[in-house]
Amino acid sequence: MNASPDPVSVRVGLLGCGHVGAALAALVAERRSEVARRRGLDLEVTRIAVRNTAIDRDVPVADDAFTTDAAAVVSDPDVDVVVEVMGGIEPARELVSTALAAGKPVVTANKELLANHGAELYALAEANGVDLLFEAAVAGAIPIMRPLRESLAAEPITRVMGIVNGTTNFILTRMADDGASYGDALAEAQGLGYAERDPTADVEGYDAGAKAAIMATVAFGARVVAGDVYHEGISGITVADIEFAADLKHCIKLLAVAEQTVADDGQAQVGVRVHPTLVPLDHPLASVNGSFNAVFVEGGAAGDLMLYGRGAGGRPTASAVLGDLVDAAGNLARGHGATIGTLERARIAPIDDVVSAYYLNVEVDDRPGVLAAVAAVFGEHGVSIRSMEQEGMGSEARLVFITHGARERDLRATLHDLRSLDAVRAVGSVLRVIGD
Amino acid sequence: MNASPDPVSVRVGLLGCGHVGAALAALVAERRSEVARRRGLDLEVTRIAVRNTAIDRDVPVADDAFTTDAAAVVSDPDVDVVVEVMGGIEPARELVSTALAAGKPVVTANKELLANHGAELYALAEANGVDLLFEAAVAGAIPIMRPLRESLAAEPITRVMGIVNGTTNFILTRMADDGASYGDALAEAQGLGYAERDPTADVEGYDAGAKAAIMATVAFGARVVAGDVYHEGISGITVADIEFAADLKHCIKLLAVAEQTVADDGQAQVGVRVHPTLVPLDHPLASVNGSFNAVFVEGGAAGDLMLYGRGAGGRPTASAVLGDLVDAAGNLARGHGATIGTLERARIAPIDDVVSAYYLNVEVDDRPGVLAAVAAVFGEHGVSIRSMEQEGMGSEARLVFITHGARERDLRATLHDLRSLDAVRAVGSVLRVIGD
């Protein structure tokens, strides 16, 4: 916030000019004088790489700023900082690598790139002493990467849980608030442009999984990649599940979870997964509805923290990119960079070892002794029951259980044996629960 | 997060060793190897200034680290970074100034010091090229200062609203959840150690006001001091107010508000105030209960953000101090500092000019024509009514209004004229409302 008389000129090369890129170019122009006043930096978008220069974009840059040659933007001596908002892995990886190797700071919003090739890019940034910043890659406008990287750098974080996919949160909120079926809610999300025509990446948790890998890497300081993440999506969730959960004072959210645990041999390991989860209604994550995102951090010293905001959208995402851009430009002007550094590979917890509380919905015969038989199966596998309610009578009878924390492998063994009991007609939904 | 073979030694001098200081010394020792691994910094608390060295403190430092001579800690050539957690203005101001002038970075949790002398200290840090960091001074463990200063440095922030005083939030939560009177809830807070014997600083909003001044300064990049903040406390709030608010689907929270507005002459001005406020139940701030804190940021590009967590307590506050300490130590090792810089004085909006929606509870005669007479008074002063409900009948009749946004001066004129109406027996509570 220097009231510097001569702001330092910083020229920005933009790779991609979709919703985020166009919003960023507009925001840079809109905030130019204020950034000069408060930060002593004169930011200007000078080059923009696009697929098609013939499209008329309402963006406040010179017409000759546009080019289809992205490599020329990166290598242009009149580009000081590169912003990558094109998405996808190639050619983004190649372009970002080239920029970093040339000593140019990079700001990216590309979760897929970072979740798959982050470690090599962080190492390249470190080796070249320049910034690689990516606040916008996880949870849009919410400042989560910088707090994890800086404010909480020394915090003994045990777990990070995020609602980081707005599409699925919109669908689950519609199902809960209006009793819409999964299919109808998905169709509505598609109609509003929140969901793609092929919604797989969102509804099966791949998008959230990429973000989980990035959060785990930054929170625990060890390399985690998209392929390490266990996934379950929301396409099997029914309105009945949501109603049963509501009876138990829970809602259902798709959570990206990264946690640090201790393996049987005493070594630290990282568990990373995405799955629908029963969230108690008095938990702060329960009030995160519609297309909003939030990240909940459990710290050993800080206690519980939650960061909430817009997870998507051109202007909110551009806001996060601009925050990084000001930081990177300021560091460049002062001749240094703040990087993640070189990371060791995290030891990933096998999903079988993960401990979680569970919700189980078991259709049973309505006769004496059934509960005892069912409870015995839980006990044999060391799965402890926290609460049980019978719902319905006769041929509609079902037992709804919430367990204490149990290992995945013990829970699976319990399910296997439950299915073989005569009195059990079917095991319905099995969902994880935020709990002890 | 460099896996550096030789971490850089950074020796910390601690001023004050109460709950926060002791928790910090313990946390530094606990996280020492992890900070060395991830940040390449070997942090050690080497000197601690206390009032009385005879007290046995369970703190993992050498016995001869303690001294009553705070100035000697600051000037000790074996102290690289100074952490000030003693509180109060003097001698903290003098000690912090001396450290900065000597080129030593300072981390402080002292809201009173910053709200009154922040600008001179930021300028001193800037002039000496060293850090002055203060994450813990507002909202304890919640990362709010760094996001405001860095992530949102270029964001067009219009308003920041915080629940930043845990004592008053505990009292209001107890009144709402259990129907406890203000006096009983305060006594309970005192019994639990959440409130001081003289609770004035908390319940009249001075503590929140100091934090509002600091938030306004960082959010808007202009100097705002504690004396600029308009205050109303919670000691006049009754259970009846909370019940009326609940009928209207609102709760009552003590909010610290900082907003940027435009004065009649077209110049930007900053409004800073603390007052009890009706918060709609579906607003994220409504779910911040008990001793938790949260800060809600309205950005022109980012949209709505909220940061939530523990606002007080030794270990949560120490966590925020440690985050700053790692940052300051890292910057020192790399030979630079990140400062707020020199700030111009903010133009402060007079409270008369502030626009807010209001809740009014008016006791009236229960006869035809009264609503028309009352509504006419609102109309004469340009105060627009958003909703009205009659509560009670006969001698218990009252009209409960929520207005659209109105200027304070127009609202006061409305109240004056309402009180002179024959049909109005009394104007009860008048409270601001988060709204349009």
Domain borders along chain A are: 8-143+314-334, 145-309, 354-433
**A146/B150 Cβ within 8 A:** yes
Supply the pTM of this predicted model. Answer: 0.93
Tell me which DSSP letter residue A151 carries: I
Shortest CA gap B365–chain A (Å):
41
pLDDT, tens digit (0-9, with 9 covering 90-100), for A365-386? 998 889 999 999 999 999 999 9
Encoded tokens for A103? 């000593």
Mean local confidence (pLDDT), A110-139: 94
Architecture of domain B8-144+315-334: 3-Layer(aba) Sandwich (3.40)
**Angstrom distance (rounded) from CA B33 to CA B35:** 5
Please report residues of A whose CB lies closer than 8 A to that of B304.
Answer: 309-310
**Angstrom distance (rounded) from CA B201 to CA B207:** 5
One DSSP character per residue, A105-150 reads -EEE--HHHHHHHHHHHHHHHHHHT--EE-GGGTTTTS--HHIIII
Strands A250-262 and A268-280: antiparallel
Residue of B nearest to A286 (CA): B287
What pLDDT does B3 receive?
45
- The percentage of residues in chain A with a pLDDT greater than 90, rounded to a whole number, is 82
**Angstrom distance (rounded) from CA A432 to CA A408:** 10
Local confidence band at A2 (pLDDT 50, 70, 90 cut-offs)? very low
Encoded tokens for A266? 């005493």
Residue of B nearest to A34 (CA): B154
What pLDDT does A336 receive?
73
Convert chain B into a string of H (helix), E (strand) and C (coil): CCCCCCCEEEEEEEECCCHHHHHHHHHHHHCHHHHHHHHCEEEEEEEEECCCCCCCCCCCCCHHHEECCHHHHHHCCCCCEEEECCCCCCCHHHHHHHHHHCCCCEEECCHHHHHHHHHHHHHHHHHHCCCEECHHHCCCCCCCHHHHHHHCCCCCEEEEEEECCHHHHHHHHHHHHHCCCHHHHHHHHHHCCCCCCCCHHHHCCHHHHHHHHHHHHHHHCCECCHHHCEECCCCCCCHHHHHHHHHCCEEEEEEEEEEEEECCCCCEEEEEEEEEEEEECCCHHHHCCCCEEEEEEEECCCEEEEEEEECCCHHHHHHHHHHHHHHHHHHHHHCCCCCCCCCCECCECCHHHCEEEEEEEEEECCCCCHHHHHHHHHHHCCCCEEEEEEECCHHHCEEEEEECCEEHHHHHHHHHHHHCCCCEEEEEEEEEECCC
**Angstrom distance (rounded) from CA A226 to CA A216:** 10
Mean local confidence (pLDDT), A172-189: 96
Q: Out of A143, A302, A343, whose CB is closest to B1?
A: A343
The CATH superfamily holding the domain A145-309 is Dihydrodipicolinate Reductase; domain 2 (3.30.360.10)
Q: Is B81 an 8 Å CB contact of chain A?
A: no
Interface of B with A in 148-177 (CB under 8 A): 150-156
Encoded tokens for B93? 């101001």
What pLDDT does A193 receive?
87
What angle do helix axes A166-178 and A239-247 make, rounded to 10 degrees?
A: 70
Class of domain B146-310: alpha beta
Q: Out of B303, B313, B319, whose CB is closest to A141?
A: B303
Encoded tokens for A1? 């916030």
**Angstrom distance (rounded) from CA B69 to CA B339:** 28
A172 pLDDT above the threshold of 80:
yes
Interface of B with A in 374-433 (CB under 8 A): none
Residue B290 has φ and ψ, to the nearest 5°, of 60, -140
Q: Is B271 an 8 Å CB contact of chain A?
A: no
The CATH superfamily holding the domain A354-433 is ACT domain (3.30.70.260)
What pLDDT does A436 receive?
57
Interface of B with A in 107-126 (CB under 8 A): 126
pLDDT, tens digit (0-9, with 9 covering 90-100), for A267-306? 999 999 999 999 999 999 999 999 899 999 999 999 999 9
Mean local confidence (pLDDT), A302-325: 95
Burial class from Cβ neighbours inside 10 Å (0-12, 13-18, 19+) for residue A9 reads middle
Local confidence band at B341 (pLDDT 50, 70, 90 cut-offs)? low
B1 pLDDT above the threshold of 60:
no
What SS3 state is found at A159?
strand
A259 pLDDT above the threshold of 90:
yes
Q: Domain A8-143+314-334, what fold?
A: Rossmann fold (3.40.50)
Q: Provide the number of CB pairs (under 8 Å) joining chain A to chain B.
A: 191
- The percentage of residues in chain A with a pLDDT greater than 70, rounded to a whole number, is 97
Residue of B nearest to A304 (CA): B309
CA diameter of chain A: 85
**Angstrom distance (rounded) from CA A231 to CA A226:** 10
Encoded tokens for A253? 């959210």
